[in-house]
Every structure is written in structure tokens, then in C-alpha cells.
Amino acid sequence: MKMMYGKGTSEHGPGVDIELSGDEVAVAIMAYLTAHGAHVRGPRTVTVNGHLCVSGRVYVDPSGFAINSDSRRFSGRGPEGEESARVDTKRAGKVFLCPDCHTRCSIVRAAAIREDGRPICGDCFEQYR
């Protein structure tokens, strides 16, 4: 998987491009199924639009952001739009109660750490900014 700033020419920023191999797309689909209660055991073939997937791409709009596995935040507004929000990797695997929406979330889903040191979930982050 490669994450980089996009090549968009919007006045609001270039966006973020995430490129995936076909295997990564298949793993993402299987993770989605598992997260929604569909558990598969044994050999399987994952197709996209009726064909084996060679590659995939996710484009994040300038109003959004993405965080890679090194906790580096890519703002859709480009490098100039970066803020200092980072995921707290010291707490990885733990569960927290989002102070904004009061739902229990895995720290892996944390989008940022508030000024008071508490993580907030990705769903609330856009409202928090």
C-alpha cells in the first residue's frame, strides 16, 4: 500500500491517494466482511466487478485526511494543511470511550488525541476540528 498526496488541482488541496495491490483489496474486502459478521474459512476467490482485482485506489477528498501505519497524517489539503494530530500508538490495542460520542472504540480507530490527552474516534474527529 502506498499513501501519498494526490495530484488534484482543487483550490482546496490535492487530496490523498492510497494505492492498493489486488491482494490488499481482497484483504480489505475480507476484513469488511468479518467486521460485519460474515466469517469465511477455507479457500475463496474475491472478485471485483466480476474479475480478479489487479489493483485498487482510494482517493481522499481535500476536506478529509488519512493516517498511515506510522501515524503520519496526510491532510487532503496537502502538506500545508497538516495539523499535529497523531494517533497514540503507545495505547495500541486498548479500548477507549470517545469523550464526544461516548462509544467504545479500539485505539486503532482513534483519529486524534485531544488537548486533554484523550483520544477521539474517527467519526467525531471532523466535528472536533
**Residue 95 is part of a domain; what is its CATH number?**
3.30.60
Asked if residue 121 and residue 75 are part of one domain, the reply reads: no
Which grid coordinates are listed for 81?
A: 494543511
Q: What is the pLDDT of residue 111?
A: 53
Which grid coordinates are listed for 42?
A: 477455507
Strand partners of residue 55: 21
Query: Which residues in the chain land under pLDDT 70?
Result: 81-100, 102-129
Asked if residue 45 and residue 92 are part of one domain, the reply reads: no
pLDDT digits (tens, 9 = 90+) for 90-113: 555 566 666 667 666 655 455 556
Please tell me the pTM assigned to this model.
0.56
Asked if residue 106 and residue 120 are part of one domain, the reply reads: yes
Query: Pick from 63, 83, 103: which residue ends a domain?
Result: 83
Asked if residue 45 and residue 2 are part of one domain, the reply reads: yes
Whose cell is 491532510? That residue is 75
Asked if residue 17 and residue 51 are part of one domain, the reply reads: yes
- C-alpha to C-alpha distance for 96 and 104, rounded to whole angstroms: 6
The range of the structural domain enclosing residue 46 comes to: 1-83
